[in-house]
Amino acid sequence: MKNEHKKSNFKIKLVGVIALAVALGVYMFFVRGTTQDVNWLRINNVDVSNETIMIHAFNPNSAKTISGFDYYVKDKTVYIKLRGGTLVNRLGQSFVTENIVINDNFSDVNKVVLQGKAKQSKTIWNK
């Protein structure tokens, strides 16, 4: 009887772990989004001030949306990764043109680089 109880507990835990993994996968892929190709958006202009980076972009593919971005600063260069999703974005809809605004201290920045899938990188602004 103890053996059957252990098996049923194991099955319950296994189902729970699988459900958690599926939920996390759906969130990461569809809601949070995945890092996109550097050529996905058409960058029209990039404005950099001491406090803000504003990327003026055009989206030629209305099926993809920006769900967010990640960035870090290293050696006076800002590296930005845009995340795209197909279900939800921060605006709740697809866009054709958009300003992507990042607020931080950028007073020492000399370059802005867009990073994408598979170690892609593209310089989008130089001082």
Averaged confidence pLDDT in the chain: 80
- List all residues 6 or more positions away from 72 whose beta carbon is below 8 Å from its beta carbon: 78, 79
The structure tokens listed for 29 are: 């892929």
Q: Does residue 8 lie within any of the structural domains? A: no
pLDDT 10s digits, 42-97: 888 999 999 999 999 887 766 667 777 889 999 999 999 887 766 554 444 445 55
Q: Does residue 103 lie within any of the structural domains? A: yes
- Could you tell me the strand order of the sheet in which 52-58 lies? 42-48, 52-58, 97-103
Q: Does residue 95 lie within any of the structural domains? A: yes
Q: Does residue 16 lie within any of the structural domains? A: no
Domain residues for the domain of 78 are: 34-126
Q: Does residue 39 lie within any of the structural domains? A: yes
The structure tokens listed for 107 are: 């007073």
pLDDT at 2 (0 to 100): 58
pLDDT at 125 (0 to 100): 96
Q: Does residue 58 lie within any of the structural domains? A: yes
Whole-model pTM above 0.75? no
Q: Does residue 98 lie within any of the structural domains? A: yes
Cα–Cα dist 25/27, whole Å: 5
pLDDT at 93 (0 to 100): 47
The tally of domains found in the chain comes to 1
**In percent, how much of the chain has pLDDT > 90?**
33
Q: Does residue 75 lie within any of the structural domains? A: yes
